[in-house]
């Protein structure tokens, strides 16, 4: 199967069309020519959140966190490790709930860290609490189907 997928560039936020068979070949953005996957999470804000959630044809796993939160800071390295393992079939992103209060309210975030998995623009699963990299990967793969 070699369908075309839409992928939003983590650098310039342009939507790219990429053949699914080309995902493992480290595709670059057609606009800014930077890699579409960098094995790290992407910081989203209120200005670019909807574009990444609705336009990506791959699952987007979002970590809602805050800079003052000890468990959030403890989970941050594990989330980055999970990004390296889950790309290119997932995009991992982080939303700072202190800086993006409207997103926190919109998604009714009551505890942090909270992971939310979006597929085709819709939230399909949510998990509060800190997890290790292996648990993040296992949880994401189980809920993306």
Q: How far apart are alpha carbons 35 and 114 in whole angstroms?
A: 27
pLDDT at 2: 73
What pTM was computed for the model? 0.95
> Are the beta carbons of 130 and 137 closer than 8 angstroms?
no
> Are the beta carbons of 49 and 40 closer than 8 angstroms?
no
pLDDT at 120: 92
> Are the beta carbons of 127 and 71 closer than 8 angstroms?
no
Which whole number is the average pLDDT over 73-90?
97
Residues 1-21: tens digit of each pLDDT: 578 999 999 999 999 999 999
For the cut 60, the answer to whether the pLDDT of residue 89 exceeds it is yes
Tokens 């992971």 sit on residue: 115
Give the bridge partners for 126, in sequence order.
116
Residues 101-125: tens digit of each pLDDT: 999 999 999 999 999 999 999 999 9
State the Rg of the chain over Cα: 14
Q: Which residues are catalytic?
A: 69, 72
Residues 7-63: tens digit of each pLDDT: 999 999 999 999 999 988 989 999 999 999 999 999 999 999 999 999 999 999 999
H helical segments located in 10-107: 49-55, 70-86, 101-106
């Amino acid at each position: 199967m070699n369908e075309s997928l839409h992928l939003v560039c983590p650098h310039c936020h342009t939507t790219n069309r990429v053949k699914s068979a080309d995902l493992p070949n480290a595709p670059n953005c057609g606009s800014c020519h930077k890699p579409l996957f960098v094995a790290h999470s992407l910081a989203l804000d209120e200005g670019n959140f909807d574009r990444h959630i609705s336009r990506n044809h791959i699952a987007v796993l979002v970590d809602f966190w805050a800079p003052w939160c000890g468990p959030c800071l403890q989970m941050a390295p594990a989330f980055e490790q999970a990004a390296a393992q889950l790309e290119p079939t997932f995009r991992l992103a982080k939303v700072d709930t202190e800086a993006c209060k409207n997103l926190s309210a919109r998604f009714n975030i009551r505890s942090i860290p909270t992971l939310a998995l979006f597929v085709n623009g819709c939230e399909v699963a949510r998990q509060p609490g800190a997890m290790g990299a292996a648990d993040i990967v296992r949880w994401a793969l189980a809920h993306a189907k």
